Homo-oligomer: A and B are copies of this chain.
Amino acid sequence: MSAPRQSMGVASADRIVVRGHDLCRDLAGVVPFGDVVFLQIVGRLPSTPESTIGNAVLTCLMEHGMTAGALAARLTAAGSPEAVQAAVAAGVLGAGSVFLGALEDCAVLLGTLHDGHVRTKAPLPEIVRTWVRRTVCDGGRVPGLGHPIHRDQDPRTIRLFELATELGAAGDALHTITLLRDTVEEETGRSLPINADGACAAVLLDLGFPPQLLRCYAAVARAAGAAGHVAEEITRPTTPLLLSRIDELVPYEDPSPLFEEQR
């Protein structure tokens, strides 16, 4: 087996190359960090529309108040003030399937629906309706739709779709998720908004992102969000009071075993 390659970066005595670019001459102080993140993940600098949308997506995914991940980061900062990186890592860890997974699941779904349309030549609305009837009417959730707080519209979706449209970057994925949302409403009577995960998935897919890269991209946003919460927590703690009330908020009671001995 020949040596595997990496194309991220390499350093010599007087030069650091990052994704094929001279870090100090061509990136630092020249390319804004949001575009450097795009470069780091994608392997090339973004075009202007890609930059606007890419930066907007990261901005939309970064912060949403005291989420599970933000709180986990703060609690870890309380226990490990000497290891700030542990607290930021804890904040990233909380961004799993419930939050980030919808991003990729939605992207995969949009791709599947679009591919089905291309492959079978059946009209896309028909492909979508078949899927909705099979999945949603059976009680399945739709990744990319619905939000416990933004019940009618997710403001991040409005903004991202507005940007994509202005920049001429709205494509098949944006079209498909909109159709999906409308079809769910027609078939079930439930009017669910396209949430931020769905909107980010759609606009990034329309830029050409492969589905498996979306969670990498989003994790950077979550890290930034967590870093802010950690910075605030070590400056102005919130968790000591929360922890002092925890036995009242979640009282202890003796356990029932999760299963009994067999026989």
Residues on A close to B: CB < 8 A? 1, 3-20, 23-25, 27-29, 31-37, 40-44, 47, 50, 52-56, 58-60, 62-72, 75-76, 78-90, 92-101, 149-153, 155-156, 158-160, 162-163, 169, 171, 206-210, 212-213, 215-217, 219-225, 227-232, 234-239, 241-262
**Inter-chain contact A59/B84, CB cutoff 8 Å:** no
Given A28-B60, A171-B262, A258-B43, the answer on whether A239 and B13 have CB atoms closer than 8 Å is no
Given A83-B86, A228-B40, A258-B235, the answer on whether A65 and B100 have CB atoms closer than 8 Å is no
- What distance in Å separates the Cβ of A228 from its nearest Cβ neighbour in chain B? 4
**Inter-chain contact A42/B94, CB cutoff 8 Å:** no
**Inter-chain contact A80/B65, CB cutoff 8 Å:** no
**Inter-chain contact A3/B241, CB cutoff 8 Å:** yes
Instruction: Determine the distance from Cα of A169 to Cα of B243 in the docked complex, in whole angstroms.
Output: 36
Identical chains in the assembly: 4
- What distance in Å separates the Cβ of A103 from its nearest Cβ neighbour in chain B? 10
Instruction: Determine which of B1, B75, B97, B208 lies in contact with A72 in the assembled complex, contact meaning CB atoms within 8 Å.
Output: B75
**Inter-chain contact B32/A64, CB cutoff 8 Å:** no
Cβ–Cβ < 8 Å partners of A50 in chain B: 261
Nearest 6 CB-CB pairs, A to B?
Answer: A80-B96, A33-B34, A223-B223, A7-B255, A40-B228, A10-B252
**Inter-chain contact B100/A23, CB cutoff 8 Å:** no
15 contacts between A and B (CB under 8 A): A5-B250, A6-B229, A6-B252, A8-B65, A9-B252, A15-B155, A24-B155, A28-B60, A37-B224, A43-B255, A67-B79, A71-B71, A82-B97, A207-B261, A217-B231
Cβ–Cβ < 8 Å partners of A244 in chain B: 1
Residue of B nearest to A230 (CB): B216
Instruction: Determine which of B150, B241, B255, B262 lies in contact with A207 in the assembled complex, contact meaning CB atoms within 8 Å.
Output: B262
Cβ–Cβ < 8 Å partners of A55 in chain B: 29, 32-33, 36
Residue of B nearest to A256 (CB): B43
**Inter-chain contact B7/A31, CB cutoff 8 Å:** no
**Inter-chain contact B65/A152, CB cutoff 8 Å:** no
Instruction: Determine which of B206, B217, B258 lies in contact with A227 in the assembled complex, contact meaning CB atoms within 8 Å.
Output: B217
**Inter-chain contact B255/A84, CB cutoff 8 Å:** no
Instruction: Determine the distance from Cα of A59 to Cα of B66 in the docked complex, in whole angstroms.
Output: 28
Known: A8-B255, A84-B216; 19 extra A-B contacts, CB below 8 A, are A3-B250, A6-B238, A7-B253, A8-B70, A11-B64, A18-B62, A23-B60, A24-B156, A29-B163, A33-B37, A33-B221, A40-B225, A71-B75, A75-B75, A81-B98, A83-B86, A90-B93, A208-B261, A242-B250
